[in-house]
A and B are shown apart, each in its own frame.
Chain A
Amino acid sequence: MKTRPSDPARAVALSAALLWVGLFSLACEWTGTDGAAGPGDSVARAFGALRRLAARHTLAEADRYFHRGIGAVRRSDFDDPLQRIGRQLSPNLHEHLDPAETRELMPWLRWTVAADPADVEAWLIAAFWLDRGMGRTDLARAVCREAAAANPDDYRPCLQWARLLLREGAWGPAARVCDRALALWPARLAAGDADAELDRARLLEWRGYLYAFAGDRARAEETLAAAAALRPDHRGVQEELERIRSGAALAGVIGPGLRRLRETAEPLRPVCEEHDHDGDHDHGH
């Protein structure tokens, strides 16, 4: 069979593409869950960086989908008929998906965590919208479990998991997951990080309520006192402490703290970062 002159070039291009895909896949396997590569593993390092780049892109796409397909809106001083027609054909309004439509984010978030399993924020966003947007707490819990398995050194997936379990009234599992989160805290955030401090206060608060529910008054008081020290303005913690000290908190009875956790929805979690929009809108989410 005669070979056309362009065939070698095509074969080389195809081989290069296949090689790239193969190396990329291998690098995904080799670099482990935290994306870190050994000092001598240059292939894994190079492709690990590419994976994080891919993850950043897919997370940006999730943000774009959250804004109904509209990315960063560009403005120019110069206007002309073509731009005016373009604006009518392609809207550039700032709108968010309805909560029920947030399922459209899920493929992008799945690809984000597939490319970079160490991106804990992407896991948490997925869990949040599955629960809050779609009402699929079961799927959100599965995401937290998967995230915790992929990030065994990070307390945040366990914190979100515990939050879901508390909302469902699964006190026993919630206590175990809270303990796990507290054992891991503050990794991977810095100890002085404001978010990490707030999260620790939350975990101590929840664990204190759960100790009280289990009838362990001494540990409940100790844990809630530690939570109160971190958040002195939290009235719920102070009330629970008073109930414990006065003997009003009875074992097996759901106190106001746990009741509030069951009934209060989690504050909205943005897909996008504030700085992505140059402060051009009020998030409200």
Chain B
Amino acid sequence: MNALILARVVWLEILRRKDLYVLGLLLAAALAALLSTDAFGAAGAGRYLVDAGATLAWAASLILTLSAAARQLPAEEARGTIFTLLSKPVSRASVIVGKWLGAWTAGAAAAALFYGVTLAAAALRGGGVDGRTLAQALLLHAAGLSIATALALALSTRLTLGAALTVAWLVVLDSWFFAGRIPELAGGAGPARGAILLAVYFATPQWPLFDLRLRLAHGWGPAPAAAVGAALAYAAGWTVLLLGLAWLGYRRRYFKRGAT
């Protein structure tokens, strides 16, 4: 119950800030620019809008979620409200879970909103997507955001806001652009370096697993339910692990007035 109240406070804080609206406006502006493309007079091309819109939805939702999650605990400390919060009958585990829940659900809701804007833009061009694939894409997108939120929160228990945010982005970008290629590289890297590369591979959450843009934009249809289930289980595992680490980092954290 305490966690839900804290999550609601996180939502209110996100709604009061301008980030969500600015990101939404940027997405709408980008889609409007893409809509104005004259494709040699050929009507009905909508895939590029779905593809670009989903890409921007990923970027915008990650920006929103990571920044929201990373700032929760440092901001409480900076404002001194952490003392008021911890003086209430709220366990530190509840603080962690509440902050995670608020940032995660807000990010997932924003992602759903961004997908909605994208689909509306695609519909203007005569494009559409399969409903089941869209549901899977949203579900897996939310699962990916869940790990990102937990990661930023875990880092923020021991790092400053700037450091937590930077490290979280490095991990996400590494996963997106590098970690997925490690298995290819590991084969030709020799036993020792190959083992190190594979350790990095398994120690990094694989966000591209949660990215169904290909199926969504290019009409490949829904993914097998078993694979979606496995990806969700993978996300749940990482989220629980990172929230556990966040709790371990926070449970005996000592706060001192005026320290930050």
- The segment out of A71-79, A185-193, A215-223, A277-285 that lies at the interface is A71-79
CB contacts under 8 Å to A, within B4-32, are: none
Given known contacts A68-B219, A78-B183, A104-B48, A142 and B212 CB-to-CB distance under 8 angstroms:
no
CA distance A174 to B215 in the complex (A): 44
- The segment out of A37-45, A80-88, A239-247 that lies at the interface is A80-88
Which bucket holds chain B's interface residue count? 35 or more
| Nearest Cβ on chain B to A163's Cβ, whole angstroms | 17
- Chain B residues near A82: list those with CB within 8 A: 206, 209, 234
- Does B44 count as interface, using CB distance less than 8 angstroms? yes
- Does B251 count as interface, using CB distance less than 8 angstroms? no
CA distance A83 to B227 in the complex (A): 11
- Chain B residues near A74: list those with CB within 8 A: 181, 184
Whether A106 lies near B227 (C-beta < 8 A) is no
CA distance A268 to B223 in the complex (A): 32
Which bucket holds chain A's interface residue count? 35 or more
CA distance A111 to B37 in the complex (A): 8
- Does B117 count as interface, using CB distance less than 8 angstroms? no
The 0/1 profile, CB within 8 Å of B marked 1, for residues 90-116 of chain A is 110000000000011111111100000
CA distance A134 to B39 in the complex (A): 13
- Does A118 count as interface, using CB distance less than 8 angstroms? no
DSSP majority for the A interface?
helix
Whether A85 lies near B219 (C-beta < 8 A) is no
Given known contacts A85-B234, A89-B209, A78 and B39 CB-to-CB distance under 8 angstroms:
no
Given known contacts A90-B215, A130-B42, A85 and B209 CB-to-CB distance under 8 angstroms:
yes
- Does B164 count as interface, using CB distance less than 8 angstroms? no
| Nearest Cβ on chain B to A265's Cβ, whole angstroms | 19
- Does A209 count as interface, using CB distance less than 8 angstroms? no
CB contacts under 8 Å to A, within B51-92, are: 51
Q: Closest 10 CB pairs between A and B?
A: A69-B218, A106-B39, A88-B227, A76-B184, A76-B183, A77-B187, A78-B183, A106-B42, A103-B42, A104-B47
Residues of chain B having any CB pair with chain A under 8 Å:
34, 37-48, 51, 140, 180-181, 183-184, 186-187, 198, 206, 208-209, 211-215, 217-220, 223-224, 226-228, 230-231, 234
6 A-B contacts (beta carbon < 8 Å): A65-B47, A69-B220, A103-B39, A103-B44, A103-B45, A107-B39
